[in-house]
Amino acid sequence: MTTTPITYLDGADVARICAELPVVDIVHDTLLAFARDEAGLAPEAALRWTTPGGDSARSLVLPGWAAGSYGCKIINASLGNHRSGLPRAAGLIVLNDPETARPMCLMEGARISALRTAGVSVAAVRAVRAPGGITQVAFLGCGRQAEVHLELLAEACPALSEVTLYDQDSARAQECAASWRGARPDLTFRVAGHARDAVERAQLTVAVTTTTEPYVELDWVPAGAAFVNVSLDDAAESLLLGCDRLFVDNWELVVADDHRLLGVLARAGRVSAPGTEAPEKGRAVDADLPTLLADPAAWPVGTQERVVINPFGMGVHDIAVAAAVHAAAVERGLGLALPR
């Protein structure tokens, strides 16, 4: 038994398996399991440094457990990678044997990380809006996260017809639109010259930028629209405080974060926890996603209401998706056997 090898799944294996996985459903079920204490997180570790080339780099480690699996996602990024044509982020997921705790499976992690993030957005949107009614979507930021979100949204929203793209780097938005037009001739892609133009036109906006300065104001968002604050610092104070409904994935993660606006507002006593009374001159979060998904009927969202979803990012989803990938790999005999 000491010689049981470790299974290694590279990016191609992971992508091939993920293409056949119901990621949104896995993420949905994991949020419900989290609410029942059948899945969980431990606080993450973060190592930050300046690269020899002078760029900011970091390695985050998110431990979690779900579906009887225990492990962590390591997700790293260097801000200088785009100069050498590399993706900003790269990752690795480690699954441990539940009985012996020994590392059991290592797999490429960036694909799963992006997929589960998009999966959470779609699962949340499905709970507050009829996906069949969504025809116009906007993306703020045109990187990998936008691409993966589009994959899952196009599947979840059969009536989707128009996608508006905005990126601070307008050439990037143009390139992205050109490439996506080729891949998805059924959809119309527009490039917006200003973020506001994109948001104002969409029933659903997904923010997937790298900004650290909030800029999307309440009056940009049309009545009845949803705004998914994936990159966490796009929604401005007016939007976070003024939207009709505010949902987060996990309040503890939001509050523990020193940097992002919602955490700052929470610490300043202007936004309070889900299910608590709103502070004077502030608001409460309506619910966290596990609570919302467990009983969406308890959180009716009016058709004219503006909804903000703030998904901080829970490592538990990486483990849940990775566990499904590992199970599929075992079934199909995929992966490389690494000697211990």
Q: Which residues are near a copy of itself by CB under 8 A? A: 1-2, 8, 10-12, 42-49, 51-53, 55, 57-59, 61-65, 68, 70-72, 74, 76-78, 80-81, 84-87, 90-92, 94, 96, 98-103, 106, 108, 336, 338-340
Judged by beta carbon, residue 69 or residue 205, the one nearer a copy of itself is: 69
| Cα 123 → chain centroid | 10
Q: Is 226 in a helix, a strand, or coil?
A: strand
In the complex, what is the shortest distance from the CB of residue 326 to a copy of itself, in angstroms, rounded to a whole number? 16
DSSP 34: H
Cross-strand pairs, 186? none
Cross-strand pairs, 248? 288, 310
CA-based nearest residue to 32, from 334, 317, 333: 317
In the complex, what is the shortest distance from the CB of residue 3 to a copy of itself, in angstroms, rounded to a whole number? 10
* For the chain, the helix, strand and coil percentages under 3-state DSSP, each to the nearest 5: 40, 25, 35
- In sequence order, the 6+-apart residues with CB closer than 8 A to the CB of 22 are none
In the complex, what is the shortest distance from the CB of residue 1 to a copy of itself, in angstroms, rounded to a whole number? 6
Q: What angle do CA 25, 87, 211 make, to 5 degrees?
A: 80
In the complex, what is the shortest distance from the CB of residue 202 to a copy of itself, in angstroms, rounded to a whole number? 33
Judged by beta carbon, residue 17 or residue 261, the one nearer a copy of itself is: 17
CA-based nearest residue to 143, from 173, 183, 171, 109: 173
In the complex, what is the shortest distance from the CB of residue 164 to a copy of itself, in angstroms, rounded to a whole number? 30
Amino acid identity of 48? R
Judged by beta carbon, residue 106 or residue 314, the one nearer a copy of itself is: 106
Cross-strand pairs, 83? none
In the complex, what is the shortest distance from the CB of residue 95 to a copy of itself, in angstroms, rounded to a whole number? 10
Judged by beta carbon, residue 85 or residue 185, the one nearer a copy of itself is: 85
Beta-strand pair 45-50/287-288: unpaired
Judged by beta carbon, residue 45 or residue 278, the one nearer a copy of itself is: 45
Judged by beta carbon, residue 41 or residue 137, the one nearer a copy of itself is: 41
In the complex, what is the shortest distance from the CB of residue 309 to a copy of itself, in angstroms, rounded to a whole number? 26
Judged by beta carbon, residue 87 or residue 279, the one nearer a copy of itself is: 87
